[in-house]
């Protein structure tokens, strides 16, 4: 009606309001249509040139080029690039860096270049994340070096992926110094006595020669093997393998040495030593059965399934022993197992003699209770195991075995400690109620629903007088056989047998006194030389496979520390890691294994870094490497005599980057402003003309 009245009085005003309303409706339709339009942006970018100068030790030891002459050449290259930039474009940004073992920004060639970097990581310049402004682009990288790579990656693939040219100026003598370097000896850190062991030596050779050399493996003064190989120099690598038998228990030290050449000046890197720990190949186990029970056959079957166990089974009968007990007293055993013993037909004197026998040697003891155990003799046996009796009448205590937190941290259960809470075992009855009376013995399993009564205890008892230790274990239910046979029907059927097999191995010490066997590839290094560490964790199974769980911490004489994480290589069943040797001096290292955020095991050692530097093993111009690098990047290579020509190869003109993008009309702010203006204008006119 309002538009009708206005139409009669003011035809022109009516048309204005209708036009505004139509425009508003059209704009709203555009917004809801969500139309996408292409958008082109042009961005002008100015060039940036990064110049990297070799600051390694080898750079200053080329006979044809003194350190001062090299520094002057560095300055000449900077001046030539600055002049080229001034002629083409004054807005060129030039950044200066030194590189070696690490990259540093330079302020002054004379003050910041000292040729003291112990190693050369050539390809690290490709990953240098220096600040690049939004209005700059990398016009090129200029690299001045002799091309020797003694650390980091040696792959030129990363160069072509960067998208900018690398122009290189090479310096140094083309003929390298003659040198043979025993890079590394790869051999197991631990093996079983009698095993055939393979040691592989990696030998590198530089210089122009072609000669035969002898590679010799020794153990002390005994020569285990000698091989003759032909070395051709030119940075070639050869591997030599020795196979030999481990005959002596404990630590065995071996030495590998390569014969030297007449023109060779550094012969310290021609030799290396390594250590292999030989474990026992046979373990004697005595199974003492006080009275035959269903447990006896199961225990014997598990023991006999281990090829390294030699089992003597003594069974107490009414008329005596099934096997001469005198043999038991005369023989040294690694493990004694009391099965349903001491029984009622055994005397207190027998237990006292057992204690004296166990104290003569580091003999482990396991106790598996049974229905025939003599209660009067029980306290004496339990005291050896680090336990004390709570009460013996426990027929009412019955339930499922439950493993606690101490079990999960114990090496016995490494590999499936996280599954202990998931395993459901059938109920069994507790025969004796005991608790540990020493901190070195832990309860690792209880009957579900109880808190005090132990089902399985483990520990290491130490004798302060003799400094000997004894591994001990006690199982306080006579229904081990029932537990085993009832689980055969379930998915965890192998758990009980694996559990006891591991338990007997741990008690007998089949992994030796230690469970960590690590070593360095050498005991003495040159500055900048790679230090490699490898080893095995014999917690019966390598379960620690998170990268941050095996750590090597290196400490110098001033107490400064540096940590390196080791990685697990499943195909080799070894942990490996490495770093580069520091400044000269003595260093100590510690390797720790962590689980559940608590330190479990640790081993340590030491090594020496000599005054000599690995950089000096390769003092020559690696021209082929540098030409390949520049070619793959789209750059150029220049000799030292024509070093200033590198400036002419740089493209220093500003460039215009065209950026293509899309924009949605609904997100265009001016369109929202138009809607607001149209609404406001219509409201003002309606008020002016008296319309509602």
Cα angle: 436, vertex 386, 288; to 5 degrees: 120
Q: Which of 429-443, 452-466, 526-540 has the highest mean pLDDT?
A: 429-443
Q: What is the mean pLDDT of residues 40-48?
A: 82
Q: Which residues contact 197 (CB under 8 A, 6 or more apart)?
A: 187, 188, 191, 243, 244, 245, 246, 276
Considering only residues 23 and 98, tell me which one the structure prediction assigns the higher pLDDT: 98
Pick from 153-157, 426-430, 685-689: least confident: 153-157
Asked which of 23-37, 257-271, 577-591 is least confident by mean pLDDT, the reply is 23-37
SS3 49: strand
Cα separation, 472 vs 434, whole angstroms = 15
Q: Would you say the CATH fold of 283-508 matches that of 43-175+619-653?
A: yes
From 153-167, 319-333, 352-366, 402-416, the region with the lowest mean pLDDT: 153-167
136: its two tokens: 């700059």
Which residue carries 């080229």 as its tokens? 84
Which band of pLDDT confidence, cut at 50, 70 and 90, is reported for residue 542? very low
Query: If you compute the radius of gyration of the chain from its CA atoms, what whole number of angstroms results?
Result: 40
Rounded to an integer, the average pLDDT of 360-386 is: 90
Place of tokens 């479990």: 600
Q: What is the pLDDT of residue 301?
A: 93
* Whether the predicted pLDDT of 97 surpasses 60: yes
- Does residue 54 surpass a pLDDT of 90? yes
Residue 595 is inside which H or E element, if any? Answer: strand 585-595
> May I ask the CATH architecture of the domain 283-508?
3-Layer(aba) Sandwich (3.40)
Question: How distant, in Å, are the alpha carbons of 121, 183, 522 from that of 202?
Answer: 21, 5, 13
Residue ranges per structural domain of the chain:
2-33+658-688, 43-175+619-653, 177-280, 283-508, 514-617
Give residue 547's pLDDT.
Answer: 59
CATH of span 177-280: 2.60.40.10
pLDDT band for position 540 (cuts 50, 70, 90): very low
Which position has the higher pLDDT, 14 or 412? 412
CA distance 470 to 351: 17
| pLDDT score of 214 | 95
CA of residue 100 relative to chain centroid, distance:
25
User: Looking at residue 591, what is its pLDDT?
Assistant: 87
Segment 297-315 shows an average pLDDT of 93
- For residues 126, 131, 137, 139, the Cα torsion angle rounded to the nearest 10 degrees is -50
Report the distance separating Cα 350 and Cα 362, nearest Å: 19
- Structure confidence at residue 675 (pLDDT): 79
Query: Can you tell me the distance from the alpha carbon of 542 to that of 414, in angstroms, rounded to the nearest whole number?
Result: 7
The share of the chain scoring above pLDDT 90, in percent, equals: 29
Stated as kind and residue range, the H or E segment containing 287 is strand 283-289
Instruction: Write down the residue that tokens 């005090």 correspond to.
Output: 452
Q: What is the mean pLDDT of the segment spanning 170-175?
A: 86
Structure confidence at residue 571 (pLDDT): 76
State pLDDT tens for residues 230-241: 998 877 889 999
Over 70: is that where the pLDDT of 491 sits?
no
CATH topology of domain 514-617: Immunoglobulin-like (2.60.40)
Lowest mean pLDDT among 157-161, 414-418, 545-549: 157-161
Looking at per-residue confidence, does 158 or 124 come out higher?
A: 124
Cβ contacts of residue 44 below 8 Å, gap of 6+? Answer: 135, 654, 655, 656, 657
User: How does residue 128 score in pLDDT terms, banded at 50, 70 and 90?
Assistant: low
Q: 169: closest CA among 667, 639, 661?
A: 639
Check whether 296 has a pLDDT greater than 70.
yes
What is the chain's mean pLDDT, rounded? 83
Q: How confident is the model at residue 9 (pLDDT cuts 50, 70, 90)?
A: low
CATH class of 43-175+619-653: alpha beta
Reported as a pLDDT band with limits 50, 70 and 90, residue 541 is very low
Average pLDDT over residues 1-29: 68
DSSP state of 648: G
């Amino acid at each position: 009606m309002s538009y009708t009245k206005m139409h009669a009085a003011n035809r022109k005003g009516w048309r204005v309001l209708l036009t505004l309303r139509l425009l508003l409706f059209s704009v709203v339709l555009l917004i809801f249509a969500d139309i996408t339009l292409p958008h082109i942006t042009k961005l002008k970018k100015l060039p940036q040139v990064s110049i990297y100068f070799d600051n390694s030790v080898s750079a200053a030891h080329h006979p044809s080029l003194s350190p001062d002459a090299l520094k002057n050449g560095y300055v000449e290259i900077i001046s030539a690039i600055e002049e080229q930039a001034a002629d083409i474009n004054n807005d060129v940004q030039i950044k200066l860096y030194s590189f070696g073992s690490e990259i540093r920004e330079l302020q002054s060639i004379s003050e910041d270049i000292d040729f003291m970097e112990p190693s050369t990581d050539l390809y690290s310049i490709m990953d240098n994340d220096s600040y690049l402004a939004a209005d700059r682009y990398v016009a090129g990288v200029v690299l001045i070096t002799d091309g020797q790579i003694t650390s980091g990656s040696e792959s030129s693939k990363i160069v072509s992926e960067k998208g900018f040219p690398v122009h290189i100026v090479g310096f140094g003598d083309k003929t390298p110094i003659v040198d043979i370097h025993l890079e590394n000896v790869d051999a197991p850190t631990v093996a079983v006595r009698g095993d055939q062991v393979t040691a592989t030596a990696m030998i590198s050779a530089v210089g122009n020669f072609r000669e035969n050399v002898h590679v010799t493996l020794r153990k002390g003064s005994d020569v285990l093997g000698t091989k003759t190989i032909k070395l051709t120099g030119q940075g070639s690598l050869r591997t030599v393998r020795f196979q030999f038998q481990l005959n002596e228990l404990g630590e065995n030290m071996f030495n590998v040495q390569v014969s030297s050449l007449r023109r060779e000046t550094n012969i310290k890197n021609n030799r290396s030593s390594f250590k292999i720990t030989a474990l026992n190949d046979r373990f004697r186990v005595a199974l003492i059965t006080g009275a035959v029970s269903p447990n006896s056959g199961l225990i014997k079957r598990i023991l006999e399934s281990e090829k390294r166990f030699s089992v003597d089974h003594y069974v107490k009968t009414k008329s005596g022993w099934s096997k001469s007990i005198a043999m038991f007293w005369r023989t040294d055993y690694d493990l004694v197992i009391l099965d349903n013993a001491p029984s009622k037909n055994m005397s207190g004197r027998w237990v006292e003699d057992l204690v004296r026998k166990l104290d003569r040697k580091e003999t482990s003891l396991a106790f598996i209770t049974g229905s025939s155990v003599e209660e009067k003799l029980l306290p004496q046996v339990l005291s050896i195991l680090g336990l004390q009796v709570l009460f013996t009448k426990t027929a009412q205590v019955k339930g499922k075995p439950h493993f606690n937190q101490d079990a999960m941290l114990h090496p016995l259960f490494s590999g499936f400690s996280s599954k202990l809470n998931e395993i459901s075992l059938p109920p069994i009855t507790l025969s004796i109620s005991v608790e540990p009376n020493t901190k070195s013995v832990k309860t690792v399993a209880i009957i579900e629903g109880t808190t005090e009564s132990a089902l399985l205890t483990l520990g290491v008892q130490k004798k302060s007088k003799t400094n000997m230790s004894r591994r001990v274990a006690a199982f306080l239910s006579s229904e081990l056989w029932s537990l085993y046979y009832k689980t055969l029907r379930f998915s965890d059927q192998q758990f009980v047998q694996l559990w006891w097999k591991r338990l007997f191995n741990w008690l007998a010490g089949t992994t030796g006194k230690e469970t960590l066997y690590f070593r360095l590839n050498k005991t003495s290094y040159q500055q900048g030389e790679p230090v490699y560490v490898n080893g095995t964790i014999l917690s019966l199974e390598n379960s620690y496979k998170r990268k941050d769980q095996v750590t090597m911490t290196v400490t110098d004489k001033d107490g400064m520390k540096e940590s390196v994480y080791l990685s697990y290589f499943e195909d080799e069943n070894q942990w490996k890691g490495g770093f580069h040797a520091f400044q000269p001096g003595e260093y100590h290292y510690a390797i720790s294994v962590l689980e559940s955020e608590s330190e479990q095991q640790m081993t340590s050692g030491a090594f020496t870094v000599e005054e000599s530097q690995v950089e000096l093993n390769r003092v020559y111009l690696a021209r082929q490497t540098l030409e390949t690098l520049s070619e793959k990047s789209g750059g150029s290579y220049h000799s030292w005599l024509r070093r200033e020509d590198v400036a002419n190869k740089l493209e220093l003109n500003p460039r215009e980057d065209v950026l293509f993008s899309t924009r949605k009309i609904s997100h265009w702010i001016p369109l929202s402003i138009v809607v607001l203006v149209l609404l406001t204008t219509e409201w003002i006119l309606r008020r002016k003309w008296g319309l509602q």
